[in-house]
Structure 1
Amino acid sequence: MSMLGMKWKLHGTGKSIKPGHVVAPDERLAWPLTIGVGMQHVVAMFGATFLVPIITGMPPATTLFFSGIGTLLFLVITKGRVPSYLGSSFAFIAPIMASQQQFGVPGALGGVVLAGVALALIGAIVQKFGAGWINRLMPPIVTGAIVALIGLNLAPAAKMNFDAAPLTAVITLATIILVSVLFRGIIGRLSILVGVVVGYVVAMLRGEVSYDKMEAASWIGLPHFQTPEFHVGVLGLFVPVVLVLVAENIGHVKSVAAMTGQNLDGVSGRALMADGAATVLAGFGGGSGTTTYAENIGVMAATKVYSTAAYWVAGIFAIVLSFSPKFGELIA
């Protein structure tokens, strides 16, 4: 099976993963299972991808749209060698909010575009001359720490959600743990998706889900697109973001390389260029800046499925969902 020139060979029978084995980026499970894993990646990115636009006042559906588009663009530019999902970057929250106060949303979008251009240029330099100079400036201990800190930055959001519905949160967490421990097959590898479904049902039964705004929203509608404006004054706000994105991106690529046992040094530049291109595209359309997601790397570590086919599913699914205002209200 191929998609835009990318081909995946079936992993074994396509129905299971032997102990100690992994599904490589150029492999896939049977399509029903691949779709399930892809949906799990969508679930994993929901929290952060929607939280960033909610905090900054950007349209969530637009951000979701460019998240899906950016992921597909990333897979194409990296030639399917780096399994990763591109979601909203927390690094953009502070500069977007600061620039909005002086230049409005268009000015903030201009800053996002400029950050993406800078990231893509750094990626081109890395692709041409290698990542050695970045490795010297930001060795593994630095990039690893940054990836860890970005993950820890999600802790306050998790605590806030936990405090809002403690019983539902405990049941969701317990379900994920129990499914992971009790089921060794593919069901165990979909523990996060199962946990979210169970948690949502519990929340619904406990009356913790409001459907008022969802019922008022239409089933199908276009995301709200906006165009950027460029101001010199935003440069100082967004330059530090580029450094964070470089460290984050390289750290994630190294993590994937370590987990898959593959040498991905040759595509580090492409990964940066792809992230930059996706961020530029998002900025020109009204979305938040993107980055590779540690949450989805965690899903791969748990499932042992590193297939880029699952990310194609996730990206396409995100794009489809972005055209449903009703879904946007449901998640928000």
Structure 2
Amino acid sequence: MSLFTWTVHGDGKAIAPDAAVAPDERLSYPRTFGIGAQHVLAMMGSTLVVPAITGMPASTTLFFSAIGTALFLTITRNRVPSYLGSSFAFIAPLAAAGVNAENGPLDAATIGKGLGGILLAGVLLAIVGVVVNLWGTRWIDVSMPPIVTGSIVALIGLNLAGAAKNMWVASPWTALVTLTAVLLAMFVFRGFLGRIAIVVGAVIGIIFAAIRGEWSAPLDAWGGKTGTEVIGDAAWLGIPKFHTPTFEGSVLVAFIPVVIILIAENIGHLKSVSAMTGRDLDPETGRALLADGLATTVAGLGGGSGTTTYAENIGVMAATRVYSTLAYWAAAVFALILSLSPKFGAIVAVLPAGVLGGLATLLFGLIAVLGARIWVEAKVDFKQPVNLVTAAVALIVGTADYTAHLGSMLFNGIALGTIAALVIYHGLGWVSRLRGATGAPATPAFIEGDEN
């Protein structure tokens, strides 16, 4: 298959309900654009939550999401249908760098510090992609087994709990209505509406906030302007605001653990797409990691959020059975067009805190539970003392946001939790091998209720 050639499938003809469209096939162009629009809608809620929480320009984030998706499709040779949206994994280290919407409109210097970390994570992920392309993924499994990766993913989600609470308490009723709406949409609606539950919940939360007058309340962070005034002052068309990265060692170290999450997400999503399409995409793992790494690097160079492949869009493919990569090119074009509207970005920038609190409570929790899911799917044995203490220490260090200083370097809870997980697992494993132990089950003192 050449890079920009697709086999026509169902062009101008009715498609059977159970007919699938392969990555190298396409529907008629009107239908392709329709599927592309659905992909944009599916990714919109999650992608724009990140700039809404971090305070980074939403239009710029959407711009680099579109560029990143196009880059991903090109590098993977149109064999992996995926959309690259904002990764929640970057929210915690960005907050540690001061890149937080609660601080009001951010200046270029503050955003630049966060971009330096995003750029570093992108470069590291790209390097991992190259290594995987040359030597496979076995070394990842050995150096970062499920107990370690699961602990790191979980602690990043739990580290964000305080941020979710701060947004929730700003308007508890709006937060509760938003969260309830999302949960009901997920389980009441079938098909596509269920897939865009975040969008549905956000819209309901926004309407509820408007009824309560939250959109017309003065915003201290915006010089006393109301949300409606900020939106009204924004132009309909304009170029996204670009920023350049700066590098501070104490900030950069907090972004290194994010790479582990991006690796896990990319590999997991690749396997999901393989299962749906019936094609072996394992040989594309290195290219997928490289592509996401380069997309994140480009975003870090210009002012966008770090990217990752999106489960929301995988859900759209599962619902429609249309796996055509041409639909993702259409989605990238739509996202690029939306990014050229500053007014659209302004709406995201002044979303009521309660709406964000409701969304964040769920989304940050899902990150934490994803760590547990990694443990469950890998059948991690917590009767093994090494596994037990690895998770235990890492979770407390990350959740309580321990900090440590090493000269001018500041290590926060995420970085320290990651270091703890790696050192404890590999260190105790080395000690066990040294003394000839095979890893006896944990004692009743460690596992309450274990009588044996």
| TM-score range relative to shorter protein | 0.7 to 0.9
Higher relative contact order, structure no. (Cα contacts within 8 Å, ≥ 6 residues apart): 1
Match in the other structure for 2:334: 317
Provide the alpha-carbon RMSD of the alignment: 3.9
1:247 is matched with which residue: 247, 252, 264?
Answer: 264
Q: Give 1 or 2 for the bigger CA radius of gyration.
A: 2
* Post-superposition offset of 1:6: 1.6
1:47 is matched with which residue: 32, 42, 45?
Answer: 45
Q: Secondary structure at the match of 2:85?
A: strand
Partners of 2:153 and 2:319 lie apart in 1 by: 17
Match in the other structure for 1:77: 75
> Cα–Cα, structure 1 residues 285 and 203, in superposed 2: closer, same or farther, change >3 Å?
closer
* Post-superposition offset of 1:92: 0.4
Q: Does 2:57 align with 1:59?
A: yes
Match in the other structure for 1:220: 237
* Post-superposition offset of 1:264: 0.7
Match in the other structure for 2:85: 87
Superposed CA deviations along residues 272-323 of structure 1, whole A, max 9, x for unmatched, are 0000001010011111111111111111111111111111011111111111
Q: Secondary structure at the match of 2:294?
A: helix
Partners of 2:342 and 2:194 lie apart in 1 by: 28
Alignment of 1:208-287 (within 5 A): 213-287=230-304
> Cα–Cα, structure 1 residues 284 and 195, in superposed 2: closer, same or farther, change >3 Å?
closer
1:118 is matched with which residue: 113, 117, 124?
Answer: 124
Match in the other structure for 1:327: 344
1:164 is matched with which residue: 169, 172, 177?
Answer: 177
Partners of 1:194 and 1:90 lie apart in 2 by: 17
Counterpart residue identity of residue 261, structure 2:
V
> Cα–Cα, structure 1 residues 31 and 114, in superposed 2: closer, same or farther, change >3 Å?
same
Counterpart residue identity of residue 130, structure 1:
G
Q: How many residues align?
A: 318
> After the TM superposition, which of the residue ranges 112-121 and 215-224 deviates more from structure 2?
215-224
Q: Secondary structure at the match of 1:6?
A: coil
* Post-superposition offset of 1:86: 0.6
Counterpart residue identity of residue 294, structure 1:
A
> Cα–Cα, structure 1 residues 290 and 161, in superposed 2: closer, same or farther, change >3 Å?
farther
* Post-superposition offset of 1:21: 3.3
Q: Secondary structure at the match of 1:227?
A: coil
Preserved CA contact (<8 Å) 2:84 2:310:
yes
Preserved CA contact (<8 Å) 1:77 1:271:
yes
Partners of 1:105 and 1:307 lie apart in 2 by: 36
* Post-superposition offset of 1:244: 0.9
* Post-superposition offset of 1:239: 1.1
Structure 1, unpaired ranges of 5+: 181-188
Identity %: 54
* Post-superposition offset of 1:173: 6.2
* Post-superposition offset of 1:204: 7.0
> Cα–Cα, structure 1 residues 126 and 206, in superposed 2: closer, same or farther, change >3 Å?
closer
> After the TM superposition, which of the residue ranges 39-48 and 17-26 deviates more from structure 2?
17-26
Partners of 2:19 and 2:153 lie apart in 1 by: 25
Counterpart residue identity of residue 66, structure 2:
G
> Cα–Cα, structure 1 residues 104 and 13, in superposed 2: closer, same or farther, change >3 Å?
closer
TM-score of the pair, normalised by structure 1: 0.80
Alignment of 1:22-33 (within 5 A): 22-33=20-31
Partners of 1:225 and 1:237 lie apart in 2 by: 23
Preserved CA contact (<8 Å) 1:175 1:195:
no
* Post-superposition offset of 1:19: 4.6
* Post-superposition offset of 1:113: 0.5
Superposed CA deviations along residues 217-244 of structure 1, whole A, max 9, x for unmatched, are 2111111111001122223201111111
Partners of 2:87 and 2:45 lie apart in 1 by: 12
* Post-superposition offset of 1:18: 3.0
Match in the other structure for 1:18: 16
1:128 is matched with which residue: 125, 130, 134?
Answer: 134
> Cα–Cα, structure 1 residues 88 and 150, in superposed 2: closer, same or farther, change >3 Å?
farther
Preserved CA contact (<8 Å) 1:219 1:324:
yes
> Cα–Cα, structure 1 residues 91 and 10, in superposed 2: closer, same or farther, change >3 Å?
same
Partners of 2:203 and 2:13 lie apart in 1 by: 28
* Post-superposition offset of 1:160: 8.8
Q: Secondary structure at the match of 1:22?
A: coil
* Post-superposition offset of 1:132: 2.9
Preserved CA contact (<8 Å) 1:147 1:252:
no
Preserved CA contact (<8 Å) 2:115 2:300:
yes
Superposed CA deviations along residues 162-219 of structure 1, whole A, max 9, x for unmatched, are 7335897699669842xx4xxxxxxxx688579969x969987996696654433211
> Cα–Cα, structure 1 residues 168 and 239, in superposed 2: closer, same or farther, change >3 Å?
closer
* Post-superposition offset of 1:329: 3.2
Partners of 1:168 and 1:11 lie apart in 2 by: 38
Q: Secondary structure at the match of 1:323?
A: coil
Partners of 1:289 and 1:206 lie apart in 2 by: 29
* Post-superposition offset of 1:141: 10
